[in-house]
Structures are given as C-alpha cells and as structure tokens.
Amino acid sequence: MNVLFKLLPEAVWVDDRSDKPAILAAIAERFASVYLLDRQKVLDALNEREALGSTGFGRGVALPHARIDGLTRPVAALLKLSAPVDFAAADRLPVDLVIGLLSPVNAGATHLHALAALSRMVRDEVMHRALTSATDTETLYALLTNAADRDAA
C-alpha cells in the first residue's frame, strides 16, 4: 500500500446517487463504515470544505476532502457514479468520479501531498480514461492503488 494515503477495497464502490448532497452523504457513510469514523463529523467536515468552494476538480472528477479528528494517516474513498451529476465544478462539467480524502487535523503537508498525488493521477490522460471507463469496483481499486503506489515510489 502506498505511503500517501490508505485505500481499502471496501471504500471503492459504484452508485447511482443523483445530486451533490446525496453524494457527500454517501462518501461520509462509506468513510464511517470502512474506517470506523463518526459519519456526522465526516459529513460536517466535507460540507464545511465544500462551502469554501466546489471540490469539483474538472474533467468529470470531484475530490472532496477534509481534515478530521480520529485519524492517524490520510484515508481515501472512491465512488464511481452511474450517471454524471452537477458538482458545480470550475469547468462546469458534471462529475461521475468522486475521490474522497480525509486526513488527520494536524496532517499539514501530508494532506497536501496526498491531495496532490490524487490530482496528478486524475490529470493523467491514460489514468483518467481508465478510471472513467471502469465499471466494477475491483478494477477501480486496482487502478487507483497501482497508480498511488507508483506515485509514492
């Protein structure tokens, strides 16, 4: 597993959520169940960050992220949407790939490095195409963890 963030297979799934609040709630629920975190704290932190400006990264990708208590290292979750959803992204394109990142409150540079690694991955044209065309959780998990491991090396 890479050194920048932890991603468990159970934190990768395909869903048919159809609006931004439902997506953030689903991400919070998955973070809570997989990483044993408080769902409401996670949702509050994600919504607080989203209120500062959309985490819609562009090209159909959103990177909702926050720092919360109860973590010792950054953790990630990946949600592939069945259909694109408006996420108020800067490029105005709807989102169908949502990669959540939570880091410890005091993570500082560690949080930024993990966020930058995810950003680089989804900016890579080959990786972007592979992630957006993948239809099952096993493929999505393998793509993200293999790319993260390469990035961390």
Catalytically active residues, by annotation: 65
Listed residue (61, 58, 74) closest to 11, CA to CA: 74
Listed residue (83, 105, 77, 107) closest to 95, CA to CA: 83
Strand partners, 58: 61
The beta-strand segments (E) located in 69-147 are 75-85, 95-104
